[in-house]
Amino acid sequence: MAAAKSVVNRLRRAEGQIRGVQKMIDENKECVDVITQLSAIRSGIDRVMGIIVAENLQNCFENPEADPKKNAAKIEQAIAMIVKK
């Protein structure tokens, strides 16, 4: 995965945000503020998922399987992951 470092950095950022939300809840912060942070976390995770699926699709096209049926199955799986979201 070419962008592995970028993905890990994004996940670490989300991890820090989650800890921040836990602290906000412990401190009885406003609901709106907590939801705003949760929305930002969800957005970040969605982006990570998109990066991973996009790289998978790119790999399928750049390095296709010898068996076209296997390659098609991998592409369909990646598309299903996008649509499922």
CATH code, 65:
1.20.58.1000
Domain count, the chain: 1
pLDDT at position 45: 94
pLDDT at position 60: 82
pLDDT at position 9: 94
What span, in angstroms and rounded, lies between the C-alpha atoms of 52 and 2? 10
What span, in angstroms and rounded, lies between the C-alpha atoms of 78 and 55? 10
55 neighbors 3 (Cβ within 8 angstroms): yes
Mean pLDDT by 10 residues, the chain (85 residues): 81 97 97 96 93 86 85 84 73
What span, in angstroms and rounded, lies between the C-alpha atoms of 37 and 5? 23
pLDDT at position 59: 84
Q: Model pTM?
A: 0.77
pLDDT at position 54: 87
Q: Print the domain residue range for 45.
A: 4-84
